[in-house]
Amino acid sequence: MVRALTRLYYAGVLLSASATAPRSTPDTGLAGPTLAELAEAVSAGRLRVGTPAAKHVLGKMFLASFMIDVATPGFDLSV
At 36-50, the pLDDT tens digits run 898 999 999 998 998
Residue 70, judged by CB atoms within 10 A of its CB (0-12, 13-18, 19+), counts as middle
Q: What's the number of CA atoms in the CB half-sphere (13 Å) around residue 32?
A: 23
| Whole-structure pTM value | 0.76
Domain positions in the chain = 2-19+31-72
The pLDDT value recorded for residue 58 is 92
Q: Are 5 and 46 in contact (CB under 8 A)?
A: no
At 10-62, the pLDDT tens digits run 999 998 988 888 877 877 787 888 888 989 999 999 989 989 889 999 999 99
**pLDDT at residue 78 above 90?**
no
d(CA 53, CA 22): 9
